[in-house]
Structure 1
Amino acid sequence: MDEKQLVRQVLSGSDSAIRLLISKYERLVVHMVARVVADDMDREELCQDVFVKVIDKLSTFHFDSKLSTWIATIAYRMAVNFAKKKKLDQVDLDEVQFKESATEDVTSDQDMKQFILKLVDMLPLNYKTVLTLFYLDGFSYPEIVEVTGMPEGTVKNYIHRARQKLKTIVEEQARKEVALL
């Protein structure tokens, strides 16, 4: 089923289409919210709220962009607004420190993925957001610009800086482990 058919069916009130919409975009919404909101219960509630808003506002979607971009924009903005309301701490780039808890033994691909996600979670909000959209969700630069409202140059800059920061963190950890040998 293509996006237009899915939207038409959701708008007509089809429960199966609503379930399909949620299952198709659940991972994207979780990624967007998880990069901003740390508490599991808050994340779960916010993800549900995102889908309520998506379904409520779906009649205003005019296919000017991909449906995934539109949904990611809603999720991102709701998460940021939630964080502002809760006054959640946003880490300054200079304050990002490598946490020893993130250095658990990495023995499998799944462990490596979790390890990398822990590293990404230590980055500032904007860096986490653009990295998640670009690498995990496969969004293009113009799509990330649409979701975040940042200029394209800023998006590219943040992706570059985030990769550099992650590289520095990994190199520092490798030096620590070599020193222990």
Structure 2
Amino acid sequence: MTTPPRPRRDPALDRRLAQAACAGDAEAFGELVAAYERPLYHFALRTLRDREEAADATQEAFVKAYRGLRTFRQELRFSTWLFAITYHACCDRLAKGRRFVLEEPPEIPDHRPGPEELALRSDIQARAQQAIARLPERYRTVVTLYYLHECSYEEMAEILSLPLGTVKTHLHRAKERLRRLLESEEPA
């Protein structure tokens, strides 16, 4: 999890764009799509492990979000609402038996400048990605939300429709499993 922290979007801006989109401003919704398409796709990719399925789930999430803009609760972060819709789109796909397992985990690009820094971290990053890919779906999802998308425990609970304590337990158990997986692969 060497992905650099991303600056968080201004929730007030997202709410204004959502309100404008709800009033019929297609450009406002286009701005939201542009801002969230990549993070939602990577989240879906980690969950579904298939590029086409992830792209379809992301597209489906945006369609559902657009149609459901009037149901967006202003007290929530727009990003939390979008991730929840995406998560449920992924769950629907998994429940329908469209689960594909790739031989290699999908590569999530690291956008840091400096090839020497990337070269130093590539082995560690590859091992971490492989370990994450070996986690059960519920643990893989919380790790992805927490580390890659920097969601809080409360946001994860909202996205996953789980009690806060369950989210904390899943993340703790995921960290323990990752630690054991990575320790078992240590070079001698």
Q: Please indicate, yes or no, whether the TM-score normalized by the shorter chain is above 0.5.
A: yes
Q: State TM-score, norm by structure 1.
A: 0.80
Question: Aligned partners of 2:96 and 2:127: how far apart in 1?
Answer: 30
Q: Tell me which of 7, 10, 23 is aligned to 2:34.
A: 23
**Separation in 2, partners of 1:19, 1:110:** 34
One of 135, 138, 141 as aligned partner of 1:126: 138
The aligned counterpart of 1:164 is: 176
CA gap of 1:111–1:24, structure 2 versus 1, over 3 A, is farther
Distance 1:137 1:129 in 2: 11
Counterpart in 2 of 1:95?
none
Q: Tell which deviates more after alignment, 69-78 or 115-124.
A: 115-124
Gap regions ≥5 residues in structure 1: 91-98
The one-character-per-residue Cα deviations of 1:11-63 (angstroms, maximum 9, x if unpaired) are 23333222210121123312331232122111111211111111111111121
Same amino acid, percent of matched pairs: 29
Equivalent residue for 2:25?
Answer: 14
> What is the aligned partner in structure 2 of residue 93 from structure 1?
none
Does structure 1 retain, via aligned residues, the 8 Å contact 2:61–2:86? yes
Whether the 8 Å CA contact 1:36–1:83 is kept in 2: the answer is no
The structure with more radius of gyration: 1
More helix by share: 1
* Paired residue total: 164
Provide TM-score, normalisation by structure 2.
0.77
What is the deviation of 1:73? Answer: 0.6
Give, as a single letter, the amino acid of the residue that structure 2 aligns with 1:161: R
Contact 2:15 2:78 (8 Å CA) reproduced: no
